[in-house]
Structure 1
């Protein structure tokens, strides 16, 4: 990979700023040798740039949080009515020329490493992060560049079949988790997710396998069962201390990408869908997810896709809670709660994952209560009020998982599409935009994003072939794992 001046300057600015914070590992750099980039620097750059791209306002908030129907908007309401902002689209696609390039460069540098004993662990960790990013892109678009992507000599990479990509990601994650060796050196610095702890990286790899395999469970049930049972046997995340969270800080430029440090945020309010459902359940997390509206002093949600753009909506309706707008709110890769819900679903589907669906279901709620620091008594009361029921388990697990994945806009959107859940009593949870969709191919919610305009300009032939292969480049086209 050839670094531009921008990339080099960014890397050194990132290193300098992060070194000043105790939450990050110290990095040793030589400012007079900008070409001597280390695997540690590249890993840090990849972890941060990926999280920054996924959790900024235009990707997480205007796509993910809208499509998961957690939030409504006070401005640019056309986003909740499915008019796609191309800035959001190109930012998400930039995962290719930012973090994926960094992770591939780690492998290239390690071909001539002066510390060969650390190479297997370093490459395996880089590979795990690549799988996470690639799955995110495949779940957003469908067929994407993969086998020939991020290669310096391939300017117009072909698109690979998303189903084939999925199977290869499981294979690669299995290989990477097997290659991790706790007795060998890893990253001495740069890894702010796990500080080079290969035991935790192994659990992350297996947990990502469970996420990937479960997403294809309706269309490839045998392959999903095999992959999930093996991953659980090898060890997944079951404790909040092993969660993959990027530790943003209270100091710029290492703050959560969308936060209230130094300014009041008024662009978004919580949706009526979220508020009404959580109020009906007497969910103690609601007062964390949202704050009382300025006018009424009560928590009130805005009807989704109402079609009104008004600054006064930020006073009429509840804005998101103080905690989720904190500068040190973490970037979430995967949580213990999500894994527990995945295991609950696996057990409900008859897989051997070491427990019952009910046990994992309750553990998923409890882990999320702990994440949000809900008092023990309140958490116990709530768990007892929403019992697991094997009949209609998709709706029971789906609704509680949706509540627990608040702030994980993209992942929650994917799960909404996959599980197609309603409230446990069978009545609809989600609504179509009140003012109607602005996309003629979408009524309730987009199934995917259209390919970015940049691909039309630079890789049109391969993009068009991919569009034809998936059934058309529209937001209404179903992804391969939805076709059941």
Structure 2
């Protein structure tokens, strides 16, 4: 792990330098007498961009996240939607997330000399981002290196920590960083592409991420989830103006990763799972999430059955590609939006938590926020009448709408799918098993995690083996601790 982290840390520092030359980032002050690879602003920029790049890459989001969420399925390459995991893609996800967390931790180390007046806020912002990254890692792999993961000078082969313990520590760390933020003190400026160092916005994001942490454990530790949500909901996002996004500039080297400016992306079709459900409820976002099939006399959106082999005799000759906005050079990398917060609070209210309003109100706010995000203004009232809140079936009602609102956040949508295990509001199944069957003997309907990268079996073999044993087997069928069904 040490060599990989050092390698990627240097890469991310270079990314920070590249972005510093772009408009919107050109106001970063740089002292030519100091190393450009070790200044907190560059480390922050590089970490933000590297994580967004990997989370929205066609290799990780396209072949893993969006397929496990069952938004997309393969075109000519279908094995991924049949759960054959590409180890190169898997290893890159693991390494990039850890390298970014390491760079964020370097900010704290560099600020320890007491000479930076912005240290308190910079450390807190970096700390909040580290919590975000580490939650993705533990949600993806279950037990992962945590307490020893970032001190690469001391721990070359870090131990894997228990996922439930990691969650508890993440909540404590997030609280500490939220409390450390002080709007009266200096902060980052344009090096922070997400909020330009706005301390109040970072505090709001911190409270919102706490809601994400808490609701994910609601079935496994209801009391803890209730306590965290009730303590943080008032400080969380209240509108799309609070959204946390990485604003790509639409030009090299800062274009959205899934960008088809130079070539059409034909790797993925939208699924019948997505298209048929959205069409059944007349969802006005369908034409944004997917595009009509080219060459038809009538513009029509068609899905491809999930996991259908290219040799299947019943396979359609073509289907719809994801929408053009999803593949736009200036599409934003989403960290979190208000619609997710609203649906989380709707679920919290449905579970009986005290969150200031009822589930129906938050549910409607979540739907409206998602529509607003995608620029939909017509037919929203009619749509809400078609998909009304139903307290007696809150899991399916909230689950389907939250799932739709998380498009194209493949990993978060996958986590919510396996956490809530929801169906359509009428009780019928929404998701299907791969039509042509799973290529993984441990998984039939959906993977619950990714297997540890193969490189860990070579570079950290003892701890790798112990981790697999501790979780009940290093396979995609092993459930995370917060899945209780």
Q: TM-score, with normalisation over the residues of structure 2?
A: 0.95
Partners of 1:305 and 1:4 lie apart in 2 by: 38
Secondary structure of 1:323's aligned partner: coil
Partners of 2:71 and 2:342 lie apart in 1 by: 22
Is there any run of 5+ residues in structure 2 with no aligned partner, and where? none
Partners of 1:182 and 1:474 lie apart in 2 by: 45
Q: CA deviation at 1:15?
A: 2.2
Partners of 2:47 and 2:131 lie apart in 1 by: 13
Q: CA deviation at 1:239?
A: 1.0
Partners of 1:183 and 1:218 lie apart in 2 by: 39
Q: Any residues of structure 2 matched to 1:6-45 within 5 Å, and which?
A: 7-8=9-10, 11-12=13-14, 14-22=16-24, 24=25, 26-29=27-30, 33-34=34-35, 37-45=38-46
Aligned partners of 2:9 and 2:103 also within 8 Å: no
For the pair 1:359 / 2:361, whether they are aligned, the reply is yes
Aligned partners of 1:247 and 1:330 also within 8 Å: yes
Deviations, residues 233-290 of structure 1 (Å, cap 9, x unaligned)? 4x00111111110001210110111111121111111101100000001001000111
Q: CA deviation at 1:353?
A: 0.7
Q: 1:268 to 1:425 in 2, by over 3 A?
A: same
Aligned partners of 2:174 and 2:206 also within 8 Å: yes
Q: CA deviation at 1:83?
A: 0.4
Q: Any residues of structure 2 matched to 1:447-466 within 5 Å, and which?
A: 447-466=448-467
Partners of 2:259 and 2:370 lie apart in 1 by: 21
Q: CA deviation at 1:161?
A: 0.4
Q: 1:28 to 1:316 in 2, by over 3 A?
A: same
Aligned partners of 2:12 and 2:50 also within 8 Å: no
Partners of 1:10 and 1:162 lie apart in 2 by: 27
Aligned partners of 1:341 and 1:360 also within 8 Å: yes
Q: 1:33 to 1:446 in 2, by over 3 A?
A: same
Secondary structure of 2:192's aligned partner: coil
After superposition, the CA RMSD in angstroms is: 1.9
Is there any run of 5+ residues in structure 1 with no aligned partner, and where? none
Partners of 2:367 and 2:7 lie apart in 1 by: 47
Q: 1:314 to 1:424 in 2, by over 3 A?
A: closer
Q: Which residue of 2 aligns with 1:258?
A: 258
For the pair 1:326 / 2:328, whether they are aligned, the reply is yes
Q: Which residue of 1 aligns with 2:249?
A: 249
Partners of 1:341 and 1:6 lie apart in 2 by: 36
The worse-fitting range, judged by mean Cα deviation, of 280-289 and 381-390 is 381-390
Q: Which residue of 1 aligns with 2:194?
A: 193
Partners of 2:311 and 2:204 lie apart in 1 by: 45
Q: Which residue of 2 aligns with 1:92?
A: 93
For the pair 1:387 / 2:388, whether they are aligned, the reply is yes
Partners of 1:478 and 1:154 lie apart in 2 by: 28
Q: Which residue of 1 aligns with 2:167?
A: 166
Q: Which residue of 1 aligns with 2:472?
A: 471
Q: CA deviation at 1:452?
A: 0.3
Q: CA deviation at 1:16?
A: 3.4
Q: Which residue of 1 aligns with 2:118?
A: 118
Q: TM-score, with normalisation over the residues of structure 1?
A: 0.95
